[in-house]
Chains A and B, each alone.
Chain A
Amino acid sequence: MFSSNNDLINKISTILFLLKIEEKTVERILEVYERRLDDNLKKFGETLDKEKAEGTKFQAVDNYKFAFSQMFVDYLGYRNPFLFLPLTLSQSRILVELIDQYKENAIDHIEKPELFHVVEKLANYKAKEFLSKKFIPTFQQFFNLDAPNIEHLSDRMQIDNAIDFSAWMNPTNQVGKHKDNVHAIETFCEEISEISNQCERFKKYLASMFVEAGDQSPDKILAPKRSQSKTDKEKKEIDPNFFLDRINKLNMPHILVDLLDKFIYYQKVTLVRSPFYISQPLNILNRNSRSFILFKIRITFEVFLL
């Protein structure tokens, strides 16, 4: 969307003008923000190199709690050659904390809390810059090739082979004998649900980001006539609806569709037979039910006759 950093600064400056914030202040924030970001990413990259050399393994499951942050970290990873590899949970946390820290530093630096939102927008604009150039065109590849969570689950789709369904479904088998199978399927469904949750949240985040950017676009507010003079291709590039359509029309990665299909199947299985839940509280006899009262009256009547 933005051809260079100058374009980015110009657009941000226009927004700040509308917000009645001095332009020089913003340039200083942007400068500090980018310099610190680069420095810290470099340090982070060196740490990653060290951990890679030590053979630290990637833990897929724990990373599920980082919905957008994880994606943002991955995005940053693309820009830094040191980060072109999966991140561990601790590495992700460090990087997410660093990103938050930049915003706080910027606020301290200029002592204007209102600019927190502006700095946040800067991060979003930078993400958008990347998205327009690289992320959206390679969305499916991103999931299929570089999302370890999906790959991890893909391997576990072979869970069919690990469970003896015929034995499990046999009602003559003892309750509790197949508890491990129930745990495995419950975990599997939980993970698929979480993966789907993250993908949907991220897509919604992208959509909202473009809508927000479209609402505040300086081109849209200040220079409609200039936009009209652009070529059709250029007009398409600055139209947020174009990106929204692209996001909405993206087919879900094939592997995720398979997982969701399995999710439905396995959830049905847990509904059919789930000895894991047998230890739940018992259904207490309702002494106010009609049948109970009827029997009570009938028996009382009998006693009275006797």
Chain B
Amino acid sequence: MEFLKLGEEIQHQNTLFEYLDDMFIVMKTAGVRSLSTLNWTIACAFLNYLTNNILNEDLYKITLDTFNRYLKKEFFNTSMICFSQNLNVYNTVVVIIFNNAEKVLTYINNLREALIEEFHQLYTEDRETLMILNCLEELEHNNARKFSMLLDEKFKILVEFLKNTVK
């Protein structure tokens, strides 16, 4: 759960814009490197680690915690939507965390495509290397659905909260 600590740091240092790009760039670099070993055991082990630990657990918890921290009912009232600088900042933060959650879906797909492209450059398809392709498919399949459900759920909550802002 080291990413959670990183998540705390991100919030305190106002780097909400940055952490997602950083994480996926590092994931892509490490993923490509694991494929470059040409050792299907190593590649599968590492891709499964990306799928199950980094995306499905750590990044999901960061996203969930960020929603829980900023998407609270008490923040949504009739004075929320105005031209006050402080409230505009808060509104922007809410937009950013939703925006980031949406971007996760795009980034997971991009990550999968980039790794598949690398796979085709390095490997010839046979029974063993097909396992790598399966790992890459699972990378998107297992995580995209989970993030998509989280996003839909939080979006409904946002709509409900926004109703409280109507005077």
Contacts and interface: CB of A to CB of B under 8 A. Distances in A.
Q: Chain B interface secondary structure, helix, strand, loop or mixed?
A: helix
A292 B91 CA distance: 9
A9 interface: no
B95 A193 contact: no
Contacts of A273: 2, 6
B165 A298 contact: yes
Interface stretch (B18-26, B111-119, B137-145): B18-26
A189 B46 CA distance: 13
B22 A200 contact: no
Interface stretch (A123-131, A144-152, A230-238, A261-269): A261-269
B22 A274 contact: yes
B131 interface: no
A171 B8 contact: yes
A200 B159 contact: no
Contacts of A295: 91, 94-95
Nearest to A299: B81
B38 A271 contact: no
A286 B17 CA distance: 11
Interface residues of B, number: 45
Interface of B: 2-3, 5-6, 8-9, 17-18, 20-23, 25-27, 29-30, 33-34, 36-39, 42, 45-46, 49, 54, 81-82, 91, 94-96, 98-100, 102-103, 155, 158-159, 162, 165, 167
30 contacts: A169-B2, A171-B5, A171-B9, A189-B30, A190-B33, A193-B33, A193-B36, A196-B36, A196-B37, A196-B38, A197-B36, A260-B42, A263-B34, A263-B42, A267-B46, A270-B26, A270-B29, A271-B54, A280-B25, A282-B18, A283-B18, A286-B99, A286-B102, A289-B98, A291-B158, A292-B95, A294-B158, A294-B159, A302-B82, A305-B167
